[in-house]
């Protein structure tokens, strides 16, 4: 990249060549159908509805394709991080692993190993565990926000100036005693089992995926993917920490990362 070569350029060209005909097709449908045009439910349609979108301008389409790349790699990273955090949360709690194994074994027998979305939805204990793992994932949202349009003053008089970048602290909500009881700081893996509160549900006490109309639309895929990975993993392996203890996350500035301590994986012995 130092000498002007960008390894992403080739992939960008591939995506642009695939995306451009799709955009032209949709624009044609809009012109023909007018008010009867039914918008597609995807991120490309979102970009096309932006006031500055003009695919005929040389720099416009590459900009939106780059945004697609960013969304793709960010989603891979966040889901992978959720899975790693969950593994460490499991590894230090053998009693939790045993209970989740019993649930996984029951579902595996029911579906004969061919897991469907319906089967994933039956994983209520695993869903609660994933939600609790996400609740303890960190104390700030990694996605920075900009005060672009105007300054904002809070009720306590604190003002964020226009143009200032902010990082949101959400541990006050995720560890709130009002919502999670006096032991809100504790890891309670099955507290959501009978609470009608799946890992994808957003509210004021659980803003891992944002909230309102800006809530992450990919949260359903991300949670189901994490659950499916853990389901298959729990059936096949027993995991524990090398130290035999619950490993705490590491802090780098305000950010958390998984422990660097080792995990021990053992194959489960199948009954003959």
The torsion angles phi and psi of 203, rounded to 5 degrees, stand at -155, -175
111 marked as part of a ligand binding site = no
Spatial separation of the C-alpha atoms in residues 100 and 90, rounded to whole Å:
10
With contact defined as beta carbons under 8 Å apart, do 209 and 202 qualify?
Answer: yes
Cβ-based neighbours of 34, under 8 Å, separated by 6 or more: none
SS (H, E, C) 204-249: CCECCCCCHHHCCCCHHHHHHHHHHHHHHHHHHEEEEECCCCCCCC
Two structure tokens written together for 190? 């099955």
**Calpha distance 71→65 (Å, rounded):** 10
Write phi, then psi, for 131 (nearest 5 degrees).
-65, -40
Counting Cβ atoms within 10 Å, is residue 227 exposed (0-12), middle (13-18) or buried (19+)?
buried
- The binding site for heme consists of 216
- The binding site consists of 216
């Amino acid at each position: 990249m130092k000498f002007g070569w960008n390894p992403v350029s080739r992939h960008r060209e591939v995506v642009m060549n695939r995306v451009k005909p799709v955009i032209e097709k949709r624009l044609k449908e809009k012109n023909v159908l007018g008010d009867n045009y039914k918008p597609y439910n995807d991120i490309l349609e979102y970009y096309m509805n932006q006031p500055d979108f003009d695919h005929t301008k040389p720099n416009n389409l590459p900009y939106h394709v780059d945004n697609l790349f960013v969304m793709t790699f960010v989603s891979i990273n966040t889901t992978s991080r959720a899975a790693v955090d969950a593994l460490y949360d499991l590894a230090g709690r053998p009693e939790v692993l045993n209970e989740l194994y019993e649930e996984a074994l029951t579902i595996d027998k029911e579906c004969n190993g061919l897991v469907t979305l319906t089967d994933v939805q039956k994983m209520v204990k695993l869903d609660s565990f994933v939600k609790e793992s996400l609740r303890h994932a960190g104390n700030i949202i990694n996605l920075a926000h900009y005060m672009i349009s105007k300054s904002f003053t809070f009720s306590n008089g604190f003002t964020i100036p226009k143009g200032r970048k902010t990082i949101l602290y959400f541990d006050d909500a995720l560890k709130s005693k009002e919502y999670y009881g006096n032991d809100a700081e504790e890891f309670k893996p099955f507290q959501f089992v009978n609470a009608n509160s799946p890992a994808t549900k957003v509210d004021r006490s659980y803003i891992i995926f944002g909230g309102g109309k800006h809530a992450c639309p990919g949260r359903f895929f991300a949670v189901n993917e994490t659950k499916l990975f853990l389901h298959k993993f729990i059936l096949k392996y027993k995991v524990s920490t090398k130290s035999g203890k619950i490993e705490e996350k590491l802090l780098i500035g305000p950010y958390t990362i998984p422990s660097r301590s080792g995990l021990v994986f053992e194959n489960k012995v199948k009954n003959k």
